[in-house]
Structure 1
Amino acid sequence: MTSQVEHTDVGAYALGILEEPDRTAFSNHLAACPSCTAELQELSGVAGALAGIGPLGDERDDADTGDRGPAEVVNLLRRRKAADRRARRGTFVIGAAAAVTLVAGGIAAGTSISGEKGGSVPVGHSAHGPAEDAYRSGTPLAGTGAPGVTGGLVLETKGWGTHAALELRGVKGPLECELVAVSRTGERRVVTGWAVPERGYGVPGSPEPLYVHGGVAWGPAGIDRFEVRTTGGDTLLTVTV
């Protein structure tokens, strides 16, 4: 046999219709041909595979008796195997698309859990950041602001000092700001700092307020006030303790 005949005789070999010399030669060929070996494994259970095969395409029964010649049976077997492979490929594509959908869904869920406004949040997760949570959980001290600026502070006594959560509205940027604690002796400590983008916070077009938090080593009894100041030296908000 030529190598081409050897590679195309898998179906005939599986059906047992090869002449003995060709069958022996093909058996020897299998030992050194992984592709033919794999194809032969796919053609195992030939009788079951042929049980439901009816006319395919333009094939006709020999003499209208329903009998098929060896060459036609091999051809039908190959067509059946190719159809099975196409079906498996289709299943794989559907499965891959489903996997992509699940991954995309997982990414969308992760965005919602992160605390973006308007997203659904699972039970047990807060839709707010830690600064806003701290502010909402306490009783705010109202501040006195520059024209158009409002805000307040929630203070929490800690073993290490005081935790402060700030809400600020009515500011536009670009600005760099600091929350400063001022002690009863006039000493000043920066609690936290941030930048205000051009769109601002708590203003038309950007109605959400700013929430930030931080800490200072003094207890509330040692603090006179907190100030929100720009790095340029302007005071935007003063909260008296």
Structure 2
Amino acid sequence: MQTTEPHVRVGAYALGVLGSADTFRFEEHLADCPGCRARAGEFAGVRDGLAVVGPPVAPGPGLAERLAAAVAAGRRRAGRRRLALAAAAVVLAVSGPAAVAGLSGGPAEGAGTQRWSGTDGASGVAAVVTAAGREWGTA
């Protein structure tokens, strides 16, 4: 760990993550710096709490590559999802008004129920909408 400011090494020293050469140099600094000694003492509770969990585990080989691949795959999936949603929106925006304009029958009323049906001649898609009055609104 190379830094020109030894005071920023306090946490790394207190947690025991400095290399042996950096630890030696920081201990020389610690002998002359009461502020760093006080801050190192403040880390004792953190160090003790982490000791309960166990020693730090070094990441295995290829971890960065696997994480980057996972992020890239997630971004590709999200991009495909956005593209599919945009295509669906375009289809609905274009065919929705066409389906409504091509309604073959108007509202068919009977016993408090209204029914609309329509067919798109180009694609052959048919739809039926039925609405019935209820006490709480429309079903």
TM-score category, normalised to shorter length? 0.3 to 0.5
Higher relative contact order (Cα pairs below 8 Å, separated by 6+ residues): 1
Structure in which a larger fraction of residues adopt strand? 1
Structure with max Cα Rg: 1
- Name whichever structure is richer in helix by fraction: 2
Report the TM-score when normalising by structure 1.
0.21
